[in-house]
Amino acid sequence: MRVVALGGGHGTAVTLRAARHYADDVTAIVSVADDGGSTGRLREQLDVVALGDMRKCLVALADDSLLAQAFEHRFGEGDLAGHALGNLVLAGLVTAAGDLVVAVDEAAALLGASGRVLPATTEKVVLRAVGEAGEVNGQVAVSRAGRIRRVSLVPADCSPPPDAVSALGKADQVVIGPGSLFTSVLAAAAVPGIAEALASTAAQRVYVCNLRPQLPETEGFDVASHVAALQAHGVTVDVVLYDSTAGVPLGDQGVSEAGPAVPVVDRRLTSSNGLVHDPARLARALADLLP
């Protein structure tokens, strides 16, 4: 069973922890458009792509070792204040290897990761959004914009690594989300080669909807709004997973201007605190969707 998780950050890390329960082969394809925090500083100082989301996904695929815990350690003071150790290790590996994919694979080997993490593109990209307030550039700025109509990447001709396209083509299931709709999920899917591979794959494409709106990015969004946003960016899914107990309304699932309706499966996905997706519950729900 081959499962590919597409997105970035904490949401995709949860999907990877879930996929490890039922899949034999797990691959993450991760957005590299982040420009905030430690990641943003390293981008500016070392001219590397965003590394933080890939770090989170590597740790999600690793066992709970001391090294995995250290990767998430964030320094509290001095010149390294705010930096996660894993980001620094990845930056050093990129410099030593001269190749982003090789560097991330080496980090996965160090951590004993049971799967692979691939960047959506190896190029240093900027996320651009167009909304009611006009054009906004940079992931942090986009996340604060609200009422976004469309996102894209600069440069527009950025391309994915061939292994990412191959993984999507060979997958049995592609899990899109959960995570920030515009700044993680669509930031990864906006890479032209990724969008085409998603469109052509024979895999079951599942969108895992967020548990609650992310303000202001998806303020007022229901499940139908999420699906419409995906379709507006050329991302078609076969089924949507959502949790009606979490507070996001279903909305009108009929045929819209964006495209046809998509089947929606309502399952309890939240953890005991009701704030995040529970990996075990998500694993059961995703496995049950497979033929």
**Banded pLDDT at 100 (limits 50, 70, 90):** very high
**Banded pLDDT at 284 (limits 50, 70, 90):** very high
pLDDT for the residue 273: 79
**Banded pLDDT at 255 (limits 50, 70, 90):** very low
**Averaged pLDDT, 68-96:** 93
pLDDT for the residue 258: 47
Which amino acid is it at 170? K
Distance of alpha carbon 1 from alpha carbon 40, whole angstroms = 36
**Averaged pLDDT, 234-253:** 88
Q: What is the 8-class DSSP label of residue 181?
A: I
Is it the case that residue 243 has pLDDT exceeding 90? Answer: yes
- The strands making up 126-131's β-sheet, listed across from edge to edge, are 134-137, 126-131, 148-154
pLDDT for the residue 126: 95
Closest C-alpha to 11, from 182, 248, 194, 151: 182
- DSSP helix/strand/coil, 149: strand
Q: HSE of 57 in the Cβ direction (CA atoms, 13 Å)?
A: 35
To the nearest whole number, what is the mean pLDDT of the chain? 92
Closest C-alpha to 183, from 119, 121, 138: 138
pLDDT for the residue 52: 93
**Averaged pLDDT, 36-55:** 89
pLDDT for the residue 43: 87
Reported pTM: 0.93
Per-residue pLDDT tens for 164-196?
999 999 999 999 999 999 999 999 999 999 999
Is it the case that residue 89 has pLDDT exceeding 80? Answer: yes
Q: Which one has a higher pLDDT value, 105 or 217? A: 105
Count of Cβ atoms closer than 10 Å to residue 124 Cβ: 17
Is it the case that residue 254 has pLDDT exceeding 80? Answer: no
Per-residue pLDDT tens for 10-26?
999 999 999 999 999 99
Nearest 5°: the CA angle 145, 146, 149 is 105
6 is in which domain, residue-wise? Answer: 2-289
Per-residue pLDDT tens for 147-171?
899 999 999 999 999 999 999 999 9
pLDDT for the residue 253: 63
- CATH number for the domain spanning 22: value is 3.40.50.10680
Structural domains of the chain, count: 1
